[in-house]
Amino acid sequence: MALEMTGSYDIPVPREKVWEALNDPAILKRCIPGCEELERTGETELRALVVAKVGPVKAKFKGKVFLSELDPPSGYRISGEGDGGIAGFAKGGAKVELSETQAGTTLVYTAEAQIGGKLAQLGQRLVAGTAKKTADEFFKNFAEAVTGETHEGV
């Protein structure tokens, strides 16, 4: 099952700060719903452990996250794949683009995800709704984290 999502967020912070935060595993870990571990294993690779709940199925996904198409401070592609054991697998990615605005930065993302196994049997509407909610939650958390970090440092 394949899903696509897009979204846009205005973050009242300079683009360089948003870029730095997008590359900070500690900030990403705080923002990813259900993320228990996120650790850098290489310059553009991270290891992740995320607990996800989709309808009645709760699964612990172990996986890798890769950063590519790096274009500082304009954006990058973040992609990952996770194995949830008997629940199935998930893989996907997002192209994240940052543009400067008078008020700070606009972050636009285009994400795609594929899931298989037991999760894919739950029905596209439930899975798509959960995926969209998770993406929205991540970017909302991210915008708050970046805004908070910047204002604390002033």
Q: What is the pLDDT of residue 123?
A: 85
- Lookup result for tokens 């009645």: 56
pTM of the entire predicted model: 0.88
120 or 30, higher pLDDT: 30
Q: What is the pLDDT of residue 82?
A: 94
pLDDT band at 151 (very low <50, low <70, confident <90, very high): low
Q: How far is CA 120 from the centre of its chain?
A: 20
pLDDT band at 154 (very low <50, low <70, confident <90, very high): very low
- Lookup result for tokens 């940052």: 98
2-149 is a CATH 3.40.630.40 domain: no
Q: Which helix (H) or strand (E) holds 124?
A: helix 124-152
pLDDT tens for 42-85 read 999 999 999 988 888 889 999 999 999 999 999 999 999 999 99
Q: Is the pLDDT of residue 131 over 90?
A: no
pLDDT tens for 76-115 read 999 999 999 999 999 989 999 999 999 999 999 999 989 8
Mean per-residue pLDDT, 8-35: 95
Q: Where are the domains of the chain?
A: 2-149
72 or 123, higher pLDDT: 72
| Both tokens assigned to 66 | 């890769």
Q: Is the pLDDT of residue 149 over 80?
A: no
What SS3 state is found at 43?
coil
